[in-house]
Structure 1
Amino acid sequence: MIIGYTTGVFDLFHIGHLNMLKNAKSMCDKLIVGVTTDELVSYKNKKAVIPFDERLEIVRNIKYVDAVIAQESMDKFETWKKLKFDVMFVGDDWYNTDKWNNFEKQFNEVGVRIIYFPYHKGTSSTLINETLLKLRGEKKD
């Protein structure tokens, strides 16, 4: 059995999120998804629009997802020590960054493959959020 793992904030859930989960599930037998907690989102001075518990419930009910956990740390290798997944899925916006090059070295040592999916350029939670702010006249320029 191949266990896959991916993470995300999954705020303002959109087609890019769904496609990523669908593609990930097609490459493993069991897909575990880490949903970023509100506290961890705030480390980038951001705030999720949808509360963590609701984001968790949305992702839990996607048919491609077998299990959902709280992502409380950015340390993917610590999570691997608990879950022992075989493959990790991540957006290609992280490809060849220092952070992910380091993760790749760690994961290679334990036989975990990292698969980079094309980042969904057309739709993003950030873009949706900015559009809503503009529509409401709340955008600060």
Structure 2
Amino acid sequence: MKRVITYGTFDLFHSGHVKLLARLRFLGDELIVGLSSDEFNHIKGKKSIYTYEQRKEILEACRYVDKVFPERCWEQKKEDIIREGAHVFAMGDDWTGEFDYLNEIADVIYLPRTPSISTTDIKTFIAMEHQDRKQQALNTLRKLEKMISSI
């Protein structure tokens, strides 16, 4: 049985995640995901919308994922690959070259990300929408203040 292992935060699960997980699963018979814990995300300076448990539940519901375990630090990958008996270590191509040292214990593969979608883009869009609505509310408030002051 050929096992593939990958890592990520998988916050705001979207079609790019689904496509990546499908491509990863196609590389082997089993897909194992090291999911960044909330504590590890804090260390990395990331803030997830969903908790680790919620993100884990979402990943476990995905038909391409066979197992999910917590990623607690950068250094655990070698031990995880050995423990899980993984033959392939795969990540998105934004990590190209970062994990080549793992080639001694598994085939390291970097897959292209799905164009035009990312969690960062979604969060940016939401923040912009929030800012637009906030500005609209301020404009409405200013108009009301002018109307009241002219009475």
Deviation at 1:108, TM superposition (A): 2.8
Q: Which of 94, 114, 117 pairs up with 2:108?
A: 114
Q: Which of 120, 125, 130 pairs up with 2:124?
A: 130
Cα distance in 2, alignment partners of residues 46 and 113 from structure 1: 28
| 1:137 alignment partner, SS class | helix
| 1:21 alignment partner, SS class | helix
Residue of structure 2 in register with 1:62 after alignment: 62
Cα distance in 2, alignment partners of residues 30 and 45 from structure 1: 30
Residue of structure 1 in register with 2:2 after alignment: 2
Residue of structure 2 in register with 1:37 after alignment: 37
Which is helix-richer, 1 or 2?
A: 2
Residue of structure 2 in register with 1:20 after alignment: 20
Return closer, same or farther for 1:23/1:133 CA change in 2, 3 Å cut-off: same
RMSD (CA atoms): 1.7
| 2:32 alignment partner, SS class | strand
For structure 1, list consecutive stretches of 5 or more residues without a partner in the other structure.
Answer: none
> How many residues are matched?
132
Percent sequence identity over aligned pairs: 34
Residue of structure 2 in register with 1:87 after alignment: 88
Asked which structure has the greater CA Rg, the reply is 2
Return closer, same or farther for 1:44/1:73 CA change in 2, 3 Å cut-off: closer
Structure 1 stretches (4+) deviating beyond 2 angstroms? Answer: 107-110
- Normalising to structure 1: TM-score of the pair? 0.86
| 1:48 alignment partner, SS class | coil
Return closer, same or farther for 1:121/1:43 CA change in 2, 3 Å cut-off: farther
